[in-house]
Amino acid sequence: MSELDSKAEQIREKQISRFENGHFDALVIGGGINGAVAALALRSHGVNVGLFEKNDFASGVSQESSNLVWGGFKYLESYEVKLVAGLCHSRNRLARSYPSQLTETRFLATLDASSPFAPWFASIGANAYWAIGQFATKRPRYRSPRTIKRLEPSIEIDSLLGGIEYSDYLLIENDSRFVIQMLVDAEERGAAVSNYTTVIEAERVSQKWKLKVRDQILGKEFEVSSDVLVNAAGPEIKEISEMTKTETESHLVFSKGVHLVVPKVTDSGRILAFFDETQRLFYVIPMGKCSVIGTTDERVEKPEVSVEGADIEFLLQEANRKLSLSRPLLKEDIIAERVGVRPLVIAKGGVDQDKDWTELSRKHIVEVNRKDRVISILGGKLSDCLNVGEEVVDGLDDLGYKTVKPSSRWYGEPSAAEKSIFFHKAKEIVTEKDSIEKLWRRHGSRSHEILKKIETTPTDGKNFSEIIDYCPAEISVMKDYEFIFTLEDFMRRRSLLGQTIHPEELMQDDGFKNLKKCLFD
C-alpha cells in the first residue's frame, strides 16, 4: 500500500473515527454488490449502518462479472418461469432507475446444427422472454444467416441455420464502479463505509455483536459493536459464519468463470452470443473500446481462482471458431483477464450433484438467524440487487427493528429535474455532448462539483490524453468521495482504463503520468 501524505492520513483518521468504539444498529461485512445494496437500503430506511470491506470495495466477485443485467433468458431452458419473471421485474426496475448507467443492448444469438435449439424454437423462447419481461425492451427478431452477415460481418455464417436478436441490459462503465457508486451514495446518506478494513474477530457479548477490525491503511486495530450483523462476504460467507460461530441453513458452491478482454470485435454495440462446444452460451460483450469474450463455467471447491493456460486456449479457440476476423485472436491480443467464482446457492436440503451443476438456479437467499441476529446473503447478483436490499430491510424488521419507509425511492440516479439542471448548465461550460453525458453517468449528483471546477479552471476539464478520457476536475472530485488508495483502485475498479488500454501503451502516455500525479500528489 502506498504511503499516505498527511492530508490523506487525516481523511482516513476521520473515516475510521466514525467506527472506533461506536455502536451501530447493523454492521455489514463485505463491500461487494450485496454488501453495498444492503448498506444503501438499510441507511435509506433509517438504520444506523456501517460496512467493512477487507480489500478495496468491489474487489471480490463483483469486479469479475459479465457486466450484464439480465432477466435470465437461459433459465427458460429449465422452464423456471417464476424465476425469470422475478429477474425480469428486477432488471426492468434497475434499468428504469439507472437510465444513464444501464443501456438496453441487443444480443444476437446464432444457432447451428449442433446448437441445443432450432432457430424457430429459440424464436418462440425469445418472444416468451420478451412477454415475461413485460415487453419492456425492443421486440425480438428472427435473423437469417444472410442478415446476420450483413449486421455482423465478423460472424462466421458457413454452418449457421439462423439466429435470434433480443434485448437485455449492459452496465456501460463496469460492475465495480456501479457497486462503488452505491457505496458512495450510502455514505452520503449517513452510512459509515470503509475499504481496507478487515473484520478479524466477531463475538456475541451481552446481546450485542462485538467486532475487532484491522485498518489496513493506518495499520491499527479497533473495536466496534452492533445489534445485528449482515454477512455479505460473498464466496467467503462460510469463513465469516465460522468466525461468528453461527450457521447458515443454505450453503454455497462455486463455479469459476473467466473472461478475456481483447481488441474490439464489432462496432455495432451488440452482444454476440454463441453456443460453445459444451452447449453453454459464449459471449462477445462490448467494454469501452474493447470486447470481452467469455465465459467458462467450471466447478471448483475453493473461491481462490486464477486464469489457467487451458482457460485462455478454450476461450480463444471458441471465439476463433465462431468469428471470421481478418486474423485469428491470439494470446498476444489479450489486454486484460477477469476471473472469479459465481457463488451458487444450495438451499437447505437441496442437492449438490454434478449432474445438476449447470442447472443450478442462480437464485439468492437472504437468511435471517433470529437467535444470533445475523442476516446472511447467499448468491445474489448485480441483476437482482434491489430485491436483495429490500429483503435485508425485511430481515431487520423480522428481528424486531422498526425500519422507516423512505419518503422517496431509496435507489437510483438523481431525479430527471436534477439531471436537466445539470445538462442545461453543462452545455454552457462543456461543449461536447458525449462528455456531458459521461460526466453525468459516472458521477451523478457529484458532477455539479466537477462542473464548478471546470468553470473556475477550464483546463481542468481537458482529458489527460487521447487514451485517458478523464480530466483533472473529475479526478479531484473522485479523490474526495471514492476512497481511492492505490493506482489499481482507480485503474481497475473506478474506471475501465486498466482493462481496456494495453499496459505498454499506458506506460508511453504522458497523460498517464499526469493522471498519477493528480491522483497521489
Q: Does 55 bind ligand FAD (CB under 6 A)?
A: yes
Nearer to ligand FAD, 170 or 426 (CB): 170
* Residue choice 383, 387, 403, 500 for contact with ligand FAD (CB under 6 A): 383
Nearest approach in angstroms of CB 388 to ligand FAD is: 9
Per CB under 6 A, 183 contacts ligand FAD? no
Map grid coordinates 460472424 to a residue.
155
Q: Is 29 in the site for ligand FAD (CB under 6 A)?
A: yes
The alpha-helical segments, DSSP class H, found in 152-291 are 175-188, 237-244
Write out the three cell numbers for 235: 464466496
Contact between 88 and ligand FAD by CB under 6 A: the answer reads no
Report the residue from 19, 30, 360, 411 that binds ligand FAD according to the rule CB under 6 A.
30
| Residue 263 · residue 336 · CB < 8 Å | no
CB contact at 8 A, 366 and 391: yes
Cβ pair 373, 210 in contact under 8 A? no
Q: How far is CA 440 from CA 50, 99, 138, 390, 437, in A?
A: 27, 11, 25, 26, 5
Q: Identify which of residues 29 and 111 has a Cβ nearer to ligand FAD in the complex.
A: 29
Instruction: Give 192 or 471: the residue with its C-beta nearer to ligand FAD.
Output: 192
Q: Which of 327, 31, 35, 308 lies closest to 154 in space, CA to CA?
A: 327
Does position 262 interact with ligand FAD (CB under 6 A)? The reply is no
Give the nearer residue to ligand FAD in terms of CB position, either 55 or 147: 55
Residue placing its CB nearer to ligand FAD in the complex, 91 or 143: 91
Residues of span 222-241 touching ligand FAD by CB under 6 A = 232-236, 240
Work out how close the CB of 356 gets to ligand FAD at its nearest, in angstroms, rounded to a whole number.
Answer: 19
Residue 35 found at the interface with ligand FAD (CB under 6 A): yes
> How far is residue 158's CA from residue 161's CA, in Å, rounded to a whole number?
9
Count of residues for the chain?
521
By CB under 6 A, tell whether 380 contacts ligand FAD. Answer: yes
Kindly state the cell numbers that stand for 205. 457479548
Q: Which of 260, 255, 331, 340 is nearest to 306 (CA)?
A: 340
Is there binding between residue 315 and ligand FAD (CB under 6 A)?
no
Residue 282 touching ligand FAD (CB under 6 A): no
CB of 281 to ligand FAD, least distance (A): 11
Total residues binding ligand FAD (CB under 6 A): 38
What SS3 state is found at 383?
coil
Residue 365 CA: distances (Å) to CA of 41, 359, 375, 377: 17, 17, 10, 6
Asked if 194 contacts 125 with a C-beta cutoff of 8 angstroms, the reply is: no
363 scored as a contact of ligand FAD (CB under 6 A): no
Q: Is 311 in the site for ligand FAD (CB under 6 A)?
A: no
- Asked if 181 touches ligand FAD (CB under 6 A), the answer is no
The amino acid occupying position 275 is: F
Write out the residues near ligand FAD by the rule CB under 6 A.
29-35, 52-55, 59-62, 64-68, 198-199, 232-236, 240, 257, 295, 340-343, 380-383
